[in-house]
Structures are given as C-alpha cells and as structure tokens.
Amino acid sequence: MEIKKAEFITSAVNAGGYPQDGLPHIAMVGKSNVGKSSLINALTRQNKLARVSGEPGKTRLVNFFLINESFYLVDLPGYGFARVSKVEKKSWGDMMNEYFRKAVSLNCIIMIVDIRHNPTAEDKQMAEWIKYYQIPVILVASKADKLGKTRIKPQVAQLRKLLGFSNQVPVIPSSVVSKQGLELLMEQLDAYLPELDSPII
Ligand code: GDP
C-alpha cells in the first residue's frame, strides 16, 4: 500500500469524540519519545502531520489521521513519562481502555519499542493488554540506525521473547533516518486492510 493522502481529522478524549464513519483503524502505541510521531510523518511523507515532541508528554489525546480516505491511522497517547501524577496515569489508562473497548473497527495495532532497549514494565503491560483484547499486532523496533547491524537480529528475537509475542507477530526493525523497515511495514498493513486493493486516487 502506498499512502497518497493523509489528513488530520480530530483529537478525542473519549469514545464520543471518535469518528463515527465505520472506517477501519490502525492504531499506534508506544512509550513517549520512542519515535511514534516521526514514524507517522515518515509513513505519510508529511513532515508536520504528527508533532515530533520537543516536549515529551504533551500528546495526551487520541489523534485520528485519515489515510487515502479509506482508514484511520490512530495515534494513541504515549506512556512512560517520568514525571506524571497518579491521576494522569489513571486518565491515560482510562483513555486506552476506552479506546480498546469501543473502537470496534480496530484492525491492527502497531506497537513501537526502541530497538536499543529491553522493554519496560509499561511496554510489557501494553503487550499484555494487546493479547488480552486479542488485537492483531505488528511490533516495530524503532531507531534501528542506532544499533550495529549484527545486533539487530538477536535484539528482535529478544524483544519478541520479553514481550511474550508469538512467532506469528511480525517484528520490524525500522528507522526514519535510514528508512529501513518503512516499506515492509506498509506491506504488512495490507493484510489488515483488504478493502484497499484498489487505490482511490
Ligand atoms: P514520540 O514521542 O514517540 O512521538 O517520539 P518522536 O517522534 O517525537 O521522536 C523522539 C525523538 O527520537 C526525536 O528526537 C526524533 O528525532 C528521534 N527519532 C525518532 N525516530 C528516530 C529514528 O528512526 N532514528 C533516530 N536516530 N532518531 C529517531
């Protein structure tokens, strides 16, 4: 699949604010600063569609980007901020739970982890959530340009193992700097968007 058109539609705090047109969702989730916004911008080839954070912790909403007028790329709020209150953590958790329960057309979730680091407790919790809700998942291991080539393969296996994902779960090393993995990710997404066989524009 090739992204030909990408536009920001809306931000929502709860299900009342989600688009109601029944189009499929592909959601993205990851720790704050993992490179989620950069990945959205690289995939859509728009520099400023998602805000690359100088200020981690600012994006606390569910953002909807309409792609090719056919599906939503859903930017879920990042987690793992060092300095957030219990109240903020709870409101993040409530927002995520609400999304997982109410987004009936969630076809696939892209979970992003930094390839250089083992998953945090919050990453592991997110993986458990994804398994609990039985959401098809693609794991993206970001910032692959920062890791020596020979270390990529073992680290991919390690991430899969530590997050408890089966061999069926694709793990894609990616980089917005070298563009590694971006095309592969788009190809993998095709499997979750069967109705996109014929491009609209
Ligand atoms: P977000 O908080 O997950 O949305 O992360 P951002 O997209 O704002 O990125 C956080 C930081 O990581 C920024 O300084 C980016 O320039 C940097 N970054 C993102 N992706 C990559 C990558 O693939 N390679 C490298 N080297 N840096 C990246």
pLDDT 10s digits, 19-66: 999 999 999 999 999 999 999 999 999 888 887 655 554 457 899 999
Q: What is the mean pLDDT of the chain?
A: 90
The mean pLDDT of 150-158, rounded to a whole number, is 97
Whole-number Å distance, alpha carbon 34 to ligand 1 midpoint, is 6
Question: Ligand 1 centroid vs 114 CA: distance in angstroms?
Answer: 9
- Cα of 198 to ligand 1 centre, how many Å? 32
Average pLDDT of span 105-131: 96
* pLDDT for position 57: 47
Distance from CA of residue 122 to its chain's centroid?
Answer: 15
Task: Give distance in angstroms: CA of 176 to centre of ligand 1.
Answer: 8
Q: Which residues line ligand 1 (CB under 6 A)?
A: 30, 32-38, 52-53, 56, 78, 142-143, 145-146, 175-177
What is the pLDDT, as a whole number, of residue 194?
A: 64
Could you tell which of 31, 34, 36, 38 is best to mutate to test the pocket of ligand 1, judged by most ligand atoms within 8 Å of the CB? 38
Q: What angle do CA 92, 72, 112 make, to 5 degrees?
A: 55
Per DSSP, the residues of 162-181 read HHT--TTS-EEE--TTT-TT
Kind of pairing between the strands at 62-67 and 106-114: unpaired
Displacement of CA 191 from its chain's centroid (Å): 16
The minimum-distance atom of ligand 1 relative to the CA of 53 is: 8
Which residue has the least CA distance to atom 20 on ligand 1? 35
3 state DSSP class of 59: coil
Q: How many CA atoms lie within 13 A of 87 on its CB side?
A: 0
The span from the CA of 64 to the CA of 73, in Å, is: 6
The amino acid at residue 187 is E
Residue 120, C-beta contacts closer than 8 angstroms, at least 6 positions apart: 31, 80
Q: How confident is the model at residue 103 (pLDDT cuts 50, 70, 90)?
A: confident
Residue 91's pLDDT is 84
